[in-house]
Amino acid sequence: MATTSRTLDPDPQAPARPRTAWRRLTLHYVEMVLAMFAGMLVFGGLRALAGLTVAFDAHPGASYLLMATDMAVGMAAWMRLRRHGWACTLEMCAAMYVPAALVPLVWAGVMSGMAFMTAAHVLMMVAMLAVLLRRRREYCH
């Protein structure tokens, strides 16, 4: 009678189970949101201390771009710390700037500054999700 030995350790080259993969993607998304907030707080706070802020009421587009940069730097730092490649990192950071396409609507008076900021945050989250799903294999491990 032949016996087979079974190992308890899963094959590291085997693809992750679907449920585990979705948990990892969700965790990565949450990490990115937290890194964005950290970037906003830290770098936005430093800019404010240095007097390098722009009044949102007067210049919502410029204010948004500065905030997006703060968030992108926070995300990039966290992603590089977690050893993600530059392509993934730059794509995720680029998602922060997608809403800048709405700035001309503010300039034209079609959209208020506050409506722009709300739409920008929603669009930013959707753009991040698109990047995450595009590179889901890289974010699953």
The tens digit of pLDDT for each residue in 33-61 reads 999 999 999 999 999 999 999 999 999 99
pTM of the predicted structure, to 2 decimals? 0.80
Query: Is 99:119 a contact under the CB 8 Å cutoff?
Result: yes
More confident residue, 139 or 10: 139
Span 75-97, pLDDT tens digits? 999 999 999 999 999 999 999 99
* Statement: residue 14 has pLDDT above 60: no
For residues 105-127, average pLDDT = 96
pLDDT at 9 over 70: no
For the chain, what is the mean pLDDT? 88
Which residues have C-beta within 8 Å of that of residue 38, sequence separation ≥ 6? 74, 78
- pLDDT value of position 120: 96
Q: What is the pLDDT of residue 37?
A: 96
Q: Which of 30, 52, 34, 36 is nearest to 99 (CA)?
A: 36
Q: Tell me what the mean pLDDT of segment 2-17 comes to.
A: 51
